[in-house]
Structure 1
Amino acid sequence: MLGDVETRSVSPVFVGRAGELTALAQALAAAAAGEPQALIVGGEAGVGKTRLVEEFTAAARAAGAVVAVGGCVEIGADGLPFAPFSTALRALHRALPAELAAAAAGQEQELARLLPELGDVGHAPSHEDSTARLFELTVRLLERLAAERTVVLVLEDLHWADASTRHLLSYLYRTLGRGRIVVVATYRSDDIHRRHPLRPLLAEMDRLRTVHRVELARFTRAEVHRQLTGILAAEPEPATVDAVYARSDGNAFFVEELITANACGCELSESLRDVLLVRVETLSETAQRVARIVAEGGSTVEYPLLAAVARLPEDDLIEALRAAVGANILLATPDGDGYRFRHSLVREAVSDDLLPGERSRLNRRYAEALEADPGLVRADERATRLASYWYHAHDALKALPAVLLASVEARKRYAYAEQLQLLERAMELWDEVPDEVRDTLRPVDPTESFPSCGCDPWTSPLRHLDLLAEAAVAARLGGERERALKIVKMALRMLEEENDPLRSAWFWTERSRIVSAMGRGDGWAEIATAQELVKGLPPSSVHALVLAIAAGWGMIRRPGPESLAAAERAVEYARLVGDEPIALKARLTRGSLLVAAGDVETGLAEMREVLERSSAVGLMAEALRAHVNLGSCLEDLGRPRDSVEVCEAGIAVAVAHGLRDSEGWVRSNLVDSLVTLGEWQAAREHAEAVLQTTQSAKPRAAAAVRLAQMAVLSGEPAVGRGHLALAREWLGRKDPMAQYTLPMAEVDLLVAAAEGRPADARAVLEAAADDALVTGKHRYVWPLLLAAATAEADAVGLPAAEEGRAGALARISRLVRRVAAPGPVWQAYSLHVSAELARAEKRDDAARWAAVVAAYEPLEAPYPTARVRHRLADALLAEGGRREEAAGLLRSAHATALRLGARPMAEELELLAARARLSLTAPEPEPAGPEPDDDAFGLTPREQDVLGLVAAGRTNRQIAEELFISPKTASVHVSNILAKLGVATRGEAAAMAHRLRLLEPMP
């Protein structure tokens, strides 16, 4: 009877889940139509997630889809980095070998970190972009595979997922944009406690509209009845249904186990855990022993490894496995190479039933077997599993070197979170190992050694500080900056008792990076400390690194002779010790500083050489940094077209290598140059792309500021305020940089001016005055000064703007005298600011504006050129005569304003043309708007008198007294004036009266 029940205990019929299966089927259909689909299936252990996925994948295969399934692997308390993705990609490799090879072409070395079958991972240095690049290439690989066929990717048991797997899945769900692909992930919901690491990922997925959640509930009594009917192949007794339903509470797996236990004639205990062990306890002693060995080996155990650990005659082992499989306790893996428990709940129950000494002994035997024959498991899993087995065997002497080896393997795969866990485990084991044993530790791979901190730890005994150094880097690269900072502080406390300046300097530079990245300071204090520590020491990589970082800090925040000298020495020291990556880093900084110092061609040539060399030796992150810096320098020099060319090439490199974050930096520079060139729509598209795909705060903030600027200039100040708020949130307040604070101040000032808040506009400039004097930041200072001067000129006539005007104009003038204007573009800006100051003081004239127009016209700067043409036309009309020239200027400026979408400027031009009775659409002097005898927009003489008094700041009662009319009549006149001028407030009417010279006769 037992045998009959055991072979039928898995429900032969699929019960319930119609809605959930329909949702999966709809996702498959949508994917087949070319729309990628992402789903997460959750439910408690045993509720039927695996069965639902099996039914879905069977239907998908029947529909012609390629299905790849990968599961998160639990080894003791450790997960294998990227295990489900590696398994699924391996399945795709078997199913579509030629297609996968074509999709991976050119990126085999990187993708081999997930799929070793593609080749050797090589020895690429770790970098902040390394993980993001791997993720981007993985997504692109899947999209290419799913371009012509439907692919179903199933990732099971996310509750066991390692951090790297969770991060990759998050990236996949957020960025998957094309292809006929369905990604389904499952997780055990009852395991997700408040602090479970999967919880943040689930919360993030809930915010994505592209991810569909499917939650499996327990069975109802009717569904349990149907399940029991399928298992028993007969109608169950109502009492049996009631009892099983009550005990299982509708959990599908518990229903199976309870009916099995009942059929066995076993007395049911109150503990469901005991129910799960019923099948195991009915096996022979040998079969039970094999089950216990499999339970401790991990989620899946390969047959050769199991045979080595079990140490049974082959026939006895096979018979034991046959019995366990026949009892539906174990299952053979799909490839037939190993065994796993049919359900993880049973494996957990068997594992929990082991005695502590028994568990340690089994882990030791696994470790010894794997050490004796490394070929028993896959090469990409060997190091991690060996480290786990030795650790859980409680053998520190064996565990420490195994854990260190596993940490190196994790780094090779860019699995920095797992690398950090392993290094922390190594630090835990450190004091348990005698000094003489630690002294024997040597590199397993010299090309992947720990950070040297000034010496090579692999030619001298490995030190605890070396582990801290590697752990700090792993934490930083893995995004755990808080943990990285704690590790660095711990190392620096240890170094207080040692005379080791190079190691100390290295940790201070690391601390500078972390503090700056976290927005907790600018990092200069830490760099200065490092410089003091290396002062007077012989050349070394650490010395060169400190100087290079100091020069880079100065390039961004304080360019000048000191920064240039630091860069020069960094290059020299790096060359002396043969450290080319640091030499290239320092040379790039030197090139930027040379440009800032006025040695333009030498600096640009240096940067181009660094770009070429970095690309040639495969340092793509540094090559992209060269694209960023070179593009920025060209924009500084007023060569936006050249900057666009460099940036577009950089974007192509970043896309080709999957360096999404570097792409964001390059693209944000491209936005700047496109704005300069007047290609605002393209600039908006690139800025939005930065916001959607880039993780780093600074390029996102820069893009948001440009979006804010374009919004204000397009007549949407409220939208601009929103973008500006995002930029401030991303940048934080601990590390203000002029290249970000000055453009934000410019937008703030533009918003205040547009909303008629002159006092606020002046306060913005006053707060930004110190940043405006930073050397080498003229590219950001001149637009700010221009915005301030224009705001003062436009506010002439506003009563609210009179108080404080003289002080504001004096402040702008002082700044103008102290800001450099190198090159034609900034000289044009300087003339423009001076002209606006003259307009604010009512002393501008056509000759002054003609000089500004002449300065701008050779440049590629459509927006400011249109603005000064507007002002020249206004001045010409005010002086009388040259109407034809003024009309041409107005038409040109108006066409530019319309093309850019700069509505406020277009409207001002239309008003001026109407006032002057000039056409904006034809060269003939045809009337445009008011009649020839109406040069005041239909204002009656009395209304013109009232407007003059409004411009002087008079109230309705004061106007009434001065004109001998009633206050009510004065109010009616003011309302008519506002309507005819198309403005909303008295202040706007006053400002327009002055700007359009409505209070003066038109010549």
Structure 2
Amino acid sequence: MPRIGSGIPLVGRRAELAALESALSAAADGRAGAVLLAGDAGVGKSRLLAELTARAVAAGVKVLTGRCLDVERAGLPYLPFVEALGRLPESGASRLDDAMEQLRLFEAVHTELADLSADSCVLLALEDLHWADAATRDLLLFLVSRLNRQRLLVVATYRVDDLYRRHPLRPLLTELGRLSTVERIDLLPFDRADAMAFVSALSDGGLADETLRGIAARSQGNAFFCEELIAAYDTAVPTGLSDLLLARVERLGSNARLVVRAASGAGGEVEHSVLQAVAELTDLDEALREAVQHNVLVTAERGYAFRHALLREAVYEDLLPGERVRLHSQYARVVTSPASLAYHALQSHDLPTAFKASVQAAEEAVELRAPAEALHHVEQALQLFGAVAEPGVSEYSLQRLASRMAQAAGDSDRAVAYARSAIGLAEDPETGAEARHQLVLTLIPLETASAEIAAAVAEAWDLVCDRPLSVTRARIIALRAREWAWYGSAGLDIDELERLAEQARDEAVQVGADDVAVDALITLAVYAEWRDRAEEAQGLYRAAATTAAEIGAYAVELRARNNLAVNLYMQGLYQEVLAVVTELIDRAVTVGLAWSELAVEARVSRMGIAFNTGHRAAAEALEDHSTAPRWASMRLEAAALYELAIAGRFDEVDEATARIMTYSDDANIVGRVRFARAEAALWRGELREAVDECLRLIASIADAPRASVTKARRAGALAVGALADLAEQAWRRGDDDAARDAIAEGERVHELALTEGEYSLDHQWREDMRNPETACMEARLDAELNRLRDDVDVELWRVAVAKAATFKYWQASARWRLGEALINDGRRDEAIVELQAAHAEAVHMGALPLRKAIEALARRARIGIDGEEPDTEDLFTPRERSVLELVASGLTNRQVGERLYISEKTASVHLSRVMAKLGAASRTEAVSVAYERGLLD
């Protein structure tokens, strides 16, 4: 028998093992950390981890191990932690509405690990994180984010090649990557020398060198492929990996093959007793021994597992459809987990059992604070509902639960769809009102459904207004107080709205609905803001967040924290905003609401603050958050696009916007995409497209139920700036009519930007006008209008620079324009100061188009901006420059020759030399390149 990788000394991997041992040594010294061990399937992650754990055990380290399993799309919640710790602390949870129990669970696991590491170092090894369920991912992030002085090292492995674009592990990897205590090790395939050494050790001298070289080459450095090729070397080696994997199985005896095929249906590790019941073999031990000896199965803590997941998949796929049905039917008779029973019953077409188990699995996932898993199971139950004669649960309750779980998991579209369905299934006025309440909560983030929101609130109130006091009635009154301010009855003044919120609070207190009372308090804080009592509102928000956390009303808590962040943002307190949104995100992750609407918007805010302060973190979100739920992913992706645009990554902007606009009409998403497209078009020189995008933005802002003064002015500033460039181009080519048209349009856009987006309620208008970003954009809008009129006012641009003090990109671009105005005014020394500052910020932010524009302006003005003297030597001869300038004015070669009193052929020769010096392929490109390089005015 050939030896397998676990039976030989570790080959290669010296650097990776040294890094792991260094991390373990640091943990032993009280510097806790985590290592993410990443690599393709079969590359040797488990072997390297086994080497580390063996050395750790020899050094007296406590080693805890757990493995994630692939159970269709819904993993078993917390499975690797259950394996590692033996059990999870009692959660005592009863329902997801009371998510405090998840926090207690997380804290209990954290405390248990801290206690274990009190007297000796602990190594927590978690394998196959790419199969981790959402609950496991949340718990892991909670633990790792709290690593500090514990004597604890967490090592987690995952397959890189399994991480497709929308894989749910990607967001977790992004969050972990931000933590200073986390290190990532990428395990690459063996190089040629190590692959040869590995297959030589595997063969133990039993194969010729030529055969070994062939195996090493064919394996492409993948350790698992090496093992499989070695194991099957004496058979006709299949061309496909599946055949290669099955070659080893075919060498087993009939009983061993039967056991292996039976084990493939388990989906992961299978206990001896379960396998005995499924395989129905009298001599199971002998068959298992053969399978283990041939390295098809390995012994595990609670039974047996395949040596590699790819091998299990190959065996399972080789079963005939009827064999699979019979196999799952046998498993369904012996498994005890509701999730496993639901899976096996469904695969064996036992629909009543699958339905019942799916409902139980959903309830179990709710208790474990795993909304994504709960949604999977409740959706499965809904699919089976019509096929069950006596379901024992109403379709209404399943639809409403599905909406709540989809909302908690960050799947907005499905949350809305299920909420709408639940309304039609409501059984009485109370459930009808509750269903409409749920619908409104799912529609609020979309900001495009004001009519539906107003109708749903009105219908809900009609259903309960004449009924006795109840939790539902109090909840609907609180909803009216919150939403009527925006959607329902704009004619109500603040006094009326406050009375409504106070009524909701009072009735909630009477019926013991503490979460509703706190929610009403948040609404009262909003009205305090509108009365210009910002500090009072902040105090109310903080108090509401604390109370909501204490009673487990986590959605209410997130609303309070979000409103506090908005309050602080309007005052320009961005570092305080950053602290609040970071805490909001941490809390959302902790309580199982990581991808809820407010948690996603908090991430957007965090990216926005990073951008405003001159950092380049936002663009990473295009990749880092692409695997969040679709709605959340699109919001984050759209928020990252503006930074891509100012970085000059236009192709990426085009690709992302085309995809996003195909699937979403969400107002926030569409608005962010349009701003990015306008900015990209501006720098591309597609000025008309930039103006049109801005006009579409302004129109959408005017139609929005919650219009934004800030966005209207920002869109106006972009549009007027683009029209100023269009007018300049028209003047340059002598098209006076086009220039005057651009000026007239710019003046209309300026007026639109100042008037569109006004609120019908004065307090809302005042709140937006206090926003420092509004002042920044208004100053920019006025300065751009002045530039459009070709009456550049230096002082207007100085104001624009000053108002943009906390918005680094907009300040840099305003400095660029200020420098241009100063040059035109003959004030070169002042211009140098502004252009140098603008250039340094553009370089720091990676704003490549702005950087190039500043450099082009400096070259044209012969100004040094990077510490060097400007280059005053002309690239062209005097005659070449004359030819280029005349070509730029639109003359043909013949006309150029006539103007310069040279032949057409000579003019063509000079132009060819100009094109060669510029690397241009055409006369048009030559003019464009010369202008961009500052060689042509």
TM-score between the two structures when normalised by the length of structure 1: 0.60
Shift of 1:837: 1.5
The residue correspondences of 1:580-979 to structure 2 (distance < 5 A) are: 580-585=514-519, 587-588=521-522, 591=525, 595=529, 600=534, 603-620=537-554, 622-650=556-584, 660-661=594-595, 665-676=601-612, 679-681=613-615, 684-685=616-617, 688=620, 691-692=623-624, 695=628, 701=634, 704=637, 707-713=640-646, 716-717=647-648, 719-723=649-653, 725-726=655-656, 729-730=659-660, 733-737=663-667, 739-773=668-702, 774=704, 776-799=707-730, 802=739, 805-806=742-743, 808-819=745-756, 822-823=769-770, 825=772, 826-849=774-797, 852=800, 856=803, 859-880=805-826, 885-886=830-831, 888-897=833-842, 899-902=844-847, 904-905=849-850, 909=854, 928-930=870-872, 953-961=890-898, 965-967=902-904, 972=910
For the structure 1 residues 406 and 871, does the alpha-carbon distance in structure 2 shift closer, same or farther, using more than 3 Å as the test?
Answer: closer
For the structure 1 residues 37 and 339, does the alpha-carbon distance in structure 2 shift closer, same or farther, using more than 3 Å as the test?
Answer: closer
Q: Letter of the 1:89 partner, please give it.
A: A
The one-character-per-residue Cα deviations of 1:429-453 (angstroms, maximum 9, x if unpaired) are: 9998999xx7xxxxxxxxxxxxxxx
Is the contact between residue 585 and residue 622 of structure 1 (CA under 8 Å) also seen in structure 2? yes
2:84 to 89, 94, 107: 89
Is the contact between residue 918 and residue 926 of structure 2 (CA under 8 Å) also seen in structure 1? no
Shift of 1:82: 3.3
For the structure 1 residues 632 and 556, does the alpha-carbon distance in structure 2 shift closer, same or farther, using more than 3 Å as the test?
Answer: farther
Which residue number in structure 1 is paired with residue 367 of structure 2? 412
Which residue number in structure 2 is paired with residue 36 of structure 1? 36
For the structure 1 residues 321 and 648, does the alpha-carbon distance in structure 2 shift closer, same or farther, using more than 3 Å as the test?
Answer: closer
Shift of 1:748: 1.8
Which residue number in structure 1 is paired with residue 241 of structure 2? none
For 1:798 and 1:956, how far apart are their aligned partners in 2?
Answer: 22
TM-score between the two structures when normalised by the length of structure 2: 0.63
Any stretches of 5+ residues in structure 2 without a counterpart? Answer: 24-34, 173-183, 189-221, 236-243, 292-297, 759-767
Is the contact between residue 815 and residue 834 of structure 2 (CA under 8 Å) also seen in structure 1? yes
**Secondary structure class of the residue paired with 2:547:** helix
**Secondary structure class of the residue paired with 1:842:** coil
2:458 to 494, 507, 532: 532
The one-character-per-residue Cα deviations of 1:402-457 (angstroms, maximum 9, x if unpaired) are: 9977654432113456656776669979998999xx7xxxxxxxxxxxxxxxxxxx
Is the contact between residue 74 and residue 133 of structure 2 (CA under 8 Å) also seen in structure 1? no
For the structure 1 residues 480 and 940, does the alpha-carbon distance in structure 2 shift closer, same or farther, using more than 3 Å as the test?
Answer: closer
2:91 to 103, 112, 120: 120
Q: Letter of the 2:37 partner, please give it.
A: Q
For 1:53 and 1:870, how far apart are their aligned partners in 2?
Answer: 54
1:986 and 2:927 matched: yes
**Secondary structure class of the residue paired with 2:617:** helix
For 1:835 and 1:249, how far apart are their aligned partners in 2?
Answer: 70
Shift of 1:573: 2.2
Q: Letter of the 1:839 partner, please give it.
A: R
For 2:340 and 2:844, how far apart are their aligned partners in 1?
Answer: 63
For 2:619 and 2:489, how far apart are their aligned partners in 1?
Answer: 27
For the structure 1 residues 907 and 543, does the alpha-carbon distance in structure 2 shift closer, same or farther, using more than 3 Å as the test?
Answer: same
**Secondary structure class of the residue paired with 1:37:** strand
Is the contact between residue 70 and residue 155 of structure 1 (CA under 8 Å) also seen in structure 2? no
1:503 and 2:418 matched: no
Q: Letter of the 2:746 partner, please give it.
A: L
Shift of 1:225: 9.9
For the structure 1 residues 210 and 74, does the alpha-carbon distance in structure 2 shift closer, same or farther, using more than 3 Å as the test?
Answer: closer
Q: Letter of the 1:860 partner, please give it.
A: T
For 1:949 and 1:977, how far apart are their aligned partners in 2?
Answer: 14
The one-character-per-residue Cα deviations of 1:648-692 (angstroms, maximum 9, x if unpaired) are: 55456567778654665434213323333xx323xx235526852
Is the contact between residue 73 and residue 83 of structure 1 (CA under 8 Å) also seen in structure 2? no
For 1:862 and 1:961, how far apart are their aligned partners in 2?
Answer: 51
Is the contact between residue 943 and residue 973 of structure 1 (CA under 8 Å) also seen in structure 2? yes
For 2:449 and 2:481, how far apart are their aligned partners in 1?
Answer: 13
For 2:555 and 2:354, how far apart are their aligned partners in 1?
Answer: 35
For 1:839 and 1:929, how far apart are their aligned partners in 2?
Answer: 28
1:469 and 2:400 matched: yes
The one-character-per-residue Cα deviations of 1:222-249 (angstroms, maximum 9, x if unpaired) are: 87999xxxxxxxxxxxxxxxxxxxxx99
Which residue number in structure 2 is paired with residue 449 of structure 1? none
Q: Name the % identity.
A: 21
Is the contact between residue 668 and residue 687 of structure 1 (CA under 8 Å) also seen in structure 2? no
Which residue number in structure 1 is paired with residue 194 of structure 2? none
For the structure 1 residues 78 and 824, does the alpha-carbon distance in structure 2 shift closer, same or farther, using more than 3 Å as the test?
Answer: closer
For 2:5 and 2:90, how far apart are their aligned partners in 1?
Answer: 42
Shift of 1:745: 2.5
Shift of 1:770: 0.9
Which residue number in structure 2 is paired with residue 445 of structure 1? none
Is the contact between residue 707 and residue 720 of structure 1 (CA under 8 Å) also seen in structure 2? no
Shift of 1:531: 1.9
**Secondary structure class of the residue paired with 2:676:** helix
For the structure 1 residues 24 and 137, does the alpha-carbon distance in structure 2 shift closer, same or farther, using more than 3 Å as the test?
Answer: farther
Is the contact between residue 74 and residue 299 of structure 1 (CA under 8 Å) also seen in structure 2? no
Shift of 1:542: 4.0
Shift of 1:818: 0.6
**Secondary structure class of the residue paired with 2:369:** coil
Which residue number in structure 2 is paired with residue 292 of structure 1? none
For the structure 1 residues 871 and 745, does the alpha-carbon distance in structure 2 shift closer, same or farther, using more than 3 Å as the test?
Answer: same
**Secondary structure class of the residue paired with 1:680:** coil
For 1:137 and 1:418, how far apart are their aligned partners in 2?
Answer: 22
For 1:39 and 1:919, how far apart are their aligned partners in 2?
Answer: 48
Any stretches of 5+ residues in structure 1 without a counterpart? Answer: 1-12, 43-48, 92-114, 187-191, 193-198, 227-247, 262-271, 278-294, 310-319, 368-380, 439-461, 932-936, 999-1003
For 2:750 and 2:601, how far apart are their aligned partners in 1?
Answer: 34
**Secondary structure class of the residue paired with 1:610:** helix
Q: Letter of the 1:531 partner, please give it.
A: V
The one-character-per-residue Cα deviations of 1:591-622 (angstroms, maximum 9, x if unpaired) are: 55775786655554543443343345454554
For the structure 1 residues 209 and 938, does the alpha-carbon distance in structure 2 shift closer, same or farther, using more than 3 Å as the test?
Answer: closer
Is the contact between residue 485 and residue 497 of structure 2 (CA under 8 Å) also seen in structure 1? no
**Secondary structure class of the residue paired with 1:797:** helix
Shift of 1:794: 3.1
For the structure 1 residues 339 and 576, does the alpha-carbon distance in structure 2 shift closer, same or farther, using more than 3 Å as the test?
Answer: same
For the structure 1 residues 642 and 339, does the alpha-carbon distance in structure 2 shift closer, same or farther, using more than 3 Å as the test?
Answer: closer
Shift of 1:398: 13
For 1:79 and 1:941, how far apart are their aligned partners in 2?
Answer: 74
